[in-house]
Amino acid sequence: MSATVQNQAIAPKVLDVLEQITGTDQVRRDLDLALFEQNILDSLGLVELIVALSDAFGVEIFPAEIERSEWATPRQIIASVEKRVRV
């Protein structure tokens, strides 16, 4: 599977998990949505998201590795997961 095809498959799956954790489809409609500033995601939700994404993609993501500012929007979360899956 090419990297482009693989990345195209990653984004929808990340958004599925993100929508499930946050309970809103806003995460699909606005990839630059400020998740923490809009109170859509909090610290507990972030930990749930990390665990769910780790399970969904079979990669280890540790909460201590995540800078909240680097996971502030759906677009940033997708990019981070894409990097981890490619490694």
CATH of the domain at 51: 1.10.1200.10
Q: How many domains does the chain have?
A: 1
pLDDT band at 83 (very low <50, low <70, confident <90, very high): very high
Q: Domain limits at 53?
A: 3-86
What pTM value is reported for the model? 0.88
Q: Determine contact, residues 77/18, Cβ cutoff 8 Å.
A: yes
Asked if the model's pLDDT at residue 4 lies above 80, the reply is: no
Residue 10: exposed, middle, or buried by beta-carbon count in 10 A (0-12, 13-18, 19+)? buried
